[in-house]
Structure 1
Amino acid sequence: MNSFNRKLEMNDGLETKYMKVLYYDFNSYYKGSYKSYEYPRLCTILEGEKRVTINSNEKFIYNKDQFILLPSNSSVEMEIQKPTKAFVLEISNELIHNISNQISIKFNVEQKEVSLFKSKVNLIDDVLNKIHNVFLQNTKNKEFLLDLYAQEITYSLLTNELSNSLLCHENTLIQKAISKMKNDFLNNLTVNDLANYLSMSTSNFSTYFKKCTGISPNNYLKNLKLNEAKKRLLNESVTDVAYDLGYENISYFIKIFKEKFGITPKQFQLKDFNLKF
């Protein structure tokens, strides 16, 4: 193989409902770049080794004893200095989403976006061997078996320490929403605004956000405002803080503040005053 593009990748590969299985045989020196497109990739080495730079940042060498889990929309600069055979699984977002929902996997919404995960291949060695063996077989049930193993390997990845890497496609959308919330929550930002920002319907966005984070976008926005209220109450009146944060009904502001922190805004101010003196 002496070139690398989206079309050529499938020459020695196979696509099923839940994944694409890609095989690469580099017989001589190769240097080039590629992208992971819209799906995460599980990248393994059968023989040889790869020198890679991920997203112009992380550089390392990996071989048959390791794998990398590459999130969607990643860019990779690759150098191969000796004959190398690689086996790659491109896992569908539909499968990841379905399994993560069924086993209640949630990523940490405060965690920085994961760029990749590198680990020992023995974590998934058994199911990876099954996929490789079936891929090499000539049987009418090949796609069916591969999809069964796709579910098994996705479950294995999600139930280990790799869930944030594998959910990075979802993570990216939600992180965009969270970043927008943190930057604009003082500007009367609504859930409808967020849905439009991500080109989603309001109902789909709300459902998606809660499934990924365990909290509704409305409650996330409310928490941002109430945490900001605590800071402002140190120097401003309850009424000013409520209006500044978009709460025209002072009684409602006091009610939700007490629900979250267990005391009223005025009690919070008095508590802070007593601590100072």
Structure 2
Amino acid sequence: MHRINNFSRIAEHEYALSTDSLNMLFYALPKHFSDQYRSYDAPRLCTILDGEKKVSVNQSENFVYTKDQFILIPPHASVHMTMPESTKALVYEFGDQIIDYVGQRVADNLQLDPPQQFSDSTFALSAYSERTAVLHQRIQEILQDQDKNMRFLIDLTCQEMVYELMKLESCNEIIQHHKNHPINIAIRIFGSNDNAGISVSQVAEEVGMSLSNFSQKFKQTTNYTPKEYMTKLRLKRSKLHLKNMSVTDTAFETGYDNISHFIRLFKKEYGMTPKQYQLTGRDHH
């Protein structure tokens, strides 16, 4: 698994190990490293393999945690971290798919009530239970073994990890709440094929925010303006259409009436024209 030595979002995208339902991120950070760490549209389980971290989550008081503990942070959290010593960390980023899959099967039996009050500054710091420690160790073994079905095994093990976290009230609040965050709702609306032609103002209205406030919060959360985010989604969809459609048909299908404009945007995003992408048949992103 590739080591990430900073908190760059670009590095995370490039070096994350992604399965169908989550991302795994492995960080190797030098002594005295200090920077702002962020979660985006999913909760993150932050663990330490070696070393320790001095952290402040969403402007909380500073505290130190070690490899005997974990932190579960909500989406859109900001965490200031300092490494008193060289530190290796493994982060689980749980997507909607695994949370929904586990929740639908165990929520009734666990008799978990939805959180009544929740602050975006909420986070959970906990020692490992006997079972979560075993599961965390199992994940490390899977990563080390490099089995050809590694991603399947990670998904399988992390289903139980999510289940164990749901049994902890503080963690369950974070896991359940994340889908109700207005920016997460907006991201799901943008990502739905049924809403391919929706406008930014319509989405702002849908999540109960003014256009200016929505645009500001969306940029703070995702590092993209809503318009930039929509463009990236449309271009990502266009790559799928280019496998079976002409460049012209793909442009129209993804909402671009101006073919030249579509080609310019595609080349800017992917470093090649749509036609070159079709000819190479390679997905660089």
Q: Provide the TM-score with structure 1 as the length reference.
A: 0.59
- 1:60: Cα distance to partner? 1.2
Of structures 1 and 2, the larger Rg is shown by: 1
CA distance in 1 between counterparts of 2:6 and 2:86 reads 15
Q: What secondary structure does 2:147 align onto? A: coil
| Pair 1:116 & 2:123 matched | yes
Of residues 45, 48, 51, the one that matches 1:48 is 51
Identity %: 32
| Match of residue 252 from structure 1 | none
* Cα pair distance change 1:102/1:33, threshold 3 Å: same
Of residues 114, 123, 141, the one that matches 1:107 is 114
CA distance in 1 between counterparts of 2:16 and 2:47 reads 14
| Pair 1:167 & 2:176 matched | yes
What is the identity, as a one-letter code, of the residue corresponding to 1:198? V
| Match of residue 87 from structure 2 | 84
CA distance in 1 between counterparts of 2:172 and 2:46 reads 16
- 1:96: Cα distance to partner? 1.0
CA distance in 1 between counterparts of 2:120 and 2:36 reads 22
- Structure 2 spans left out of the alignment, 5+ residues: 186-201, 209-285
Q: Provide the TM-score with structure 2 as the length reference.
A: 0.58
Q: Alignment length, in residue pairs?
A: 182
CA distance in 1 between counterparts of 2:204 and 2:9 reads 31
- 1:125: Cα distance to partner? 0.4
- 1:57: Cα distance to partner? 2.6
Q: What secondary structure does 1:145 align onto? A: helix
What is the identity, as a one-letter code, of the residue corresponding to 1:131? I
CA contact (8 A) 1:114 1:168 kept: no
CA contact (8 A) 2:6 2:29 kept: no
| Pair 1:26 & 2:29 matched | yes
| Pair 1:4 & 2:7 matched | yes
| Match of residue 144 from structure 1 | 152
CA contact (8 A) 1:2 1:30 kept: no
- 1:12: Cα distance to partner? 5.0
* Superposed CA offset, 1:167-201 (max 9, x none): 23124359x9xxxxxxxxxxxxxxxx9994327xx
What is the identity, as a one-letter code, of the residue corresponding to 1:32? D
CA distance in 2 between counterparts of 1:29 and 1:111 reads 33
- 1:109: Cα distance to partner? 2.3
- 1:160: Cα distance to partner? 2.6
Runs of 4+ in 1 over 6 A off after TM superposition: none
* Cα pair distance change 1:35/1:194, threshold 3 Å: closer
